[in-house]
Amino acid sequence: MNIVFSFRRLASVVGTVAVLSAGFSPAYAQEISDAHLQSARKAIAAIHATDQFDEFLPSTARDLKDELERKDPNLSNMISEIVDEQALALVKRRSDLEVEAARVYANHFSQAELDQIATFYESDTGKKLLSEGPSAVRGIISAFDVWSQGIAQDLATNVGREMAQRIGGQAGSNDAPTPPQSAVPTVPAPTQ
């Protein structure tokens, strides 16, 4: 199982989904005080909730350049110049995402909770959780893989043994069905 988990990504995805589901209504904006919104922005900065979106505009600009240059390679220099200019002109709109993300967090957390979140994630322990958390989760997933393979193997073995006993006791036969191969993992369980 190859799963990469990131606390930053999780927070960002939750925020993005909430923005999309909540919409961008003016009434929504009026419900949140400036102080509450400021606490939300501080919490978002502390957990780096929107950092993963930093690459969106440069990546989109690169993709657009590639597409336009494939269509007309003779205009490559002009295309590159114009795309870069237009992308730079849009950089200031990055703050719009921060505002919307702050609104989402303010809608889900009280101002006191947001202040506590920011305080924790600005602490050495919170920073370590952000930096080491994904690695720890990968370790947990590896441990789960080994554990689950052992459980699956033991389950298949125990079921096969119990079926053999019950069939052998009923019919007097030693021909018990064997568990399906799909139930037996290919990697052996760790020894204890």
pLDDT at 185 over 90: no
- Pair 88, 172 in one domain: no
Q: Is the pTM of this model over 0.75?
A: no
Is 191 within a domain? Answer: no
- Pair 27, 89 in one domain: yes
Containing domain of residue 162, as a range? Answer: 132-185
Neighbours of 147 (CB within 10 A): 13
Look-up: residue for tokens 């589901």? 21
Per-residue pLDDT tens digits for 70-96:
999 999 999 999 999 999 999 999 999
Is 192 within a domain? Answer: no
Q: How many domains does the chain have?
A: 2
Q: Say if CB 167 and CB 173 are below 8 A apart.
A: yes
- Pair 33, 76 in one domain: yes
Q: What torsion, rounded to 10 degrees, do the Cα atoms 17, 23, 27, 33 define?
A: 30
Of 122, 146, 173, which residue sits at a domain end? 122
Per-residue pLDDT tens digits for 140-162:
999 999 999 999 999 999 999 99
Of 122, 149, 176, which residue sits at a domain end? 122
Look-up: residue for tokens 């950092």? 51
The whole-chain average pLDDT of the chain stands at 84
- Pair 111, 89 in one domain: yes
Q: What share of the chain is helix, strand, coil (3-state, %, to 5)?
A: 80, 0, 20
The burial of 11, by beta-carbon neighbours within 10 Å (0-12 exposed, 13-18 middle, 19 or more buried), is given as buried
